[in-house]
Chains A and B, each alone.
Chain A
Amino acid sequence: MRYALLICGDEKGMEARSPEEASAGLNEYMAFGEEMGKRGVLQGGERLRPTTDATTVRVRDGEVLTSDGPFAETKEQIGGFYLVDCKDLDEAIGVASKIPGARNGSIEVRPIWEL
């Protein structure tokens, strides 16, 4: 089964990190990617720029409405995601628990709606 692992956390906290902390964090993600790549579960994944760089688009009555920022203001934001292919939810939970962001933020495990 395929799952999206959404990495949620406080992006203000991320921005406040020192360059050393940020680089240590990056290294943890590299190690995670390498380990999961070897296990063959990883199908994709990206880091997202913060919601301050986000643009929200809506179409109403045929008109494109564009606004600055995320679609909803929340305490935690999605900072990145992985797409994984796992045997079952238990394996997906195991992978999610290894994502560095799980230790300060949280990971939402969402099954892919296969068509």
Chain B
Amino acid sequence: MQAAVASAFRDEWGRVVATLIRMTGDWDVAEECAQDAFALALERWQRDGVPRNPGAWLTTTARNRAIDRMRRAATGANKLQEVAVLSADSPSESDESGVGDDRLRLIFTCCHPALALEAQVALTLRTLVGLTTPEIARAFLVPEPTMAQRLVRAKRKIRNAGIPYRVPPAHLLPERTGAVLAVLYLLFNEGYAASGGADLVRQSLTDEAVRLTRTLTELMPDEPEALALLALMLLHDARRSGRVDDDGDLVPLEEQDRTRWDRNAIDEGVELLDAALRRGQPGPYQVQAAIAACHATAPDAASTDWPQIAALYGELGRMAPTPVVALNRAVAVAMAEGPEAGLALVDELEASGALRDYHLLPATRADLLRRLGRRTEAAAAYRQALELAGADAERRYLERRLAETERA
């Protein structure tokens, strides 16, 4: 029974909260009523069995809770609100964009550009995924009161500033969809490469990001960048079990045991990417997914199509000219044309002063110098990278490389 409720929680929490926000217009009431409904489910389903449609049961129960609360409060304004809730049981009227799902309204509202990025992420995790405030605080390595306040402030701003609860109309959709995808990708990355602490893969965040992105692609099947983001996540996640060895140490891509990669996830990722590319509207997530597909579909490290990857990074650099993309392009060029060509690009990047605090800049330099046999310089660069690296597994990898360089 616990398991049935837990699974309903994962599947239905976001939907119940999203619907209750539309009905009541109050984010706190929506969350509290959803919580009540899940607590009641634990008790009732034990006695009566799991209902045929757990989602509908939960939504109805939460809605009845909301009506009870308003009746108890029983002021004039609440009477009006009660009428609104009572009459809102039919499937919602569709937005200007023609998309009617409440979860889509919720995610676009959580990711409204008038909210700070960190508030967008926290709000998405709380309302759509149902993570508790302590869980979100742990995931982002901030004290619990800080996270609690971030959530309170974000909800207050939505109310006070009049951020609408809707899917934006067509003319705003491209820019707003970008914000939603950015939040989902950030969530995925936060789980995939935890920026600090012991566990390199905080799996629950990655899983939730994949789930949410999958939902988004179901709700917006014509959006190629959403399809591509899901493809990108699946292609990365497919390599999860090869990425860290049994001791929790980071295994570089070329040394990974490719039989441990998840073939089904790779196949699905490639299919999704193809579907996205067929739309003929290129975008940065499509390019990144194409790069990930090059890696994931190479039978072994030696047959990786590095010239193709270098060209894709060049393309990505034109769409999104960031120093991290430039660094990745340098790595690909080093593989395609030799370490010297790559090192020239890394030196250029270093001279520009960008990425000064990013451990992968000296780490990349170190690897290229090592391959060129310039050991003293390589060791110095590894030490520099170690000073900046955060996650334990990454540190152990750098320490191992440094030891090898110094031994030789």
A contacts, CB < 8 Å to B: 1, 3, 86-90, 92-93, 109, 111
Contacting residue for B114 out of A1, A87, A89, CB 8 A: A89
CB distance from A32 to the nearest CB of B (A): 19
Q: Report the minimal beta-carbon distance from A95 to chain B, rounded to whole angstroms.
A: 13
CA distance A61 to B163 in the complex (A): 42
How many of chain B's residues touch chain A, expressed as a range? under 10
Please determine whether A88 and B160 come into contact, CB atoms closer than 8 angstroms.
no
Q: What residues on B are CB-neighbors of A109 within 8 Å?
A: 161
**Per-residue contact bits, chain B 152-166, to A (CB 8 Å; 1 contact, 0 not):** 000000001111100
Query: What distance in Å separates the Cβ of A48 from its nearest Cβ neighbour in chain B?
Result: 24
Considering the complex, give the chain A residue whose CB is closest to the CB of B164: A88
> Is the CB of B302 closer than 8 A to any CB of chain A?
no
The DSSP consensus for interface residues of chain B is: loop
Q: Contacting A111 at CB < 8 Å: which of B112, B162, B164, B172?
A: B162
Provide the bound-state CA to CA distance between A1 and B159, in Å: 11
Q: How far is the CA of A3 from the CA of B160 in the complex (A)?
A: 11
B residues within 8 A CB of A3? 162
Instruction: Say if the beta carbon of B168 comes within 8 Å of chain A.
Output: yes
Known: A1-B162, A89-B164. 14 other contacts (CB 8 A): A3-B162, A86-B162, A88-B162, A88-B164, A89-B112, A89-B114, A89-B162, A90-B163, A90-B168, A90-B172, A92-B162, A93-B114, A111-B160, A111-B161
For B171, the closest partner residue in chain A by CB is: A94
Give per-residue flags for B163-194: 1 if the beta carbon is below 8 A from chain A beta carbons, else 0: 11000100010000000000000000000000
A-B contact pairs, 23 of them (CB 8 A): A1-B162, A3-B162, A86-B162, A87-B164, A88-B162, A88-B163, A88-B164, A89-B112, A89-B114, A89-B161, A89-B162, A89-B163, A89-B164, A90-B163, A90-B164, A90-B168, A90-B172, A92-B162, A93-B114, A109-B161, A111-B160, A111-B161, A111-B162
Chain B positions within 8 Å of A92 at CB level: 162
Kindly state the separation between the CA atoms of A89 and B114 in the bound complex, as whole angstroms.
Answer: 9
A111: B residues at CB distance < 8 A: 160-162
Q: Which 4 A-B pairs have the closest CB atoms?
A: A88-B164, A1-B162, A88-B162, A89-B162
A98 vs chain B, min Cβ distance (A)? 14
Q: A46 to nearest B CB, angstroms?
A: 23
Note all chain A residues with C-beta closer than 8 A to B168. 90
List, in ascending order, chain B residues with CB within 8 A of A90's CB.
Answer: 163-164, 168, 172
**Which residues of B are found within 8 Å of A86, using beta-carbon distances?**
162
* B114 to chain A: closest residue by CB: A89
A97 to B114 alpha-carbon distance, docked (Å): 14
Q: How far is the CA of A86 from the CA of B163 in the complex (A)?
A: 11
In the complex, A93→B112 CA distance in Å? 12
Q: How far is the CB of B108 from chain A (nearest CB, A)?
A: 10
Can you name the residue of chain A whose Cβ is closest to the Cβ of B112? Answer: A89
A12 to chain B, nearest CB (A): 30
Bound Cα distance from A68 to B396, whole angstroms: 62
Complexed CA–CA distance, A81 and B161 (Å)? 18
Complex CA gap A98/B84 in Å reads 35
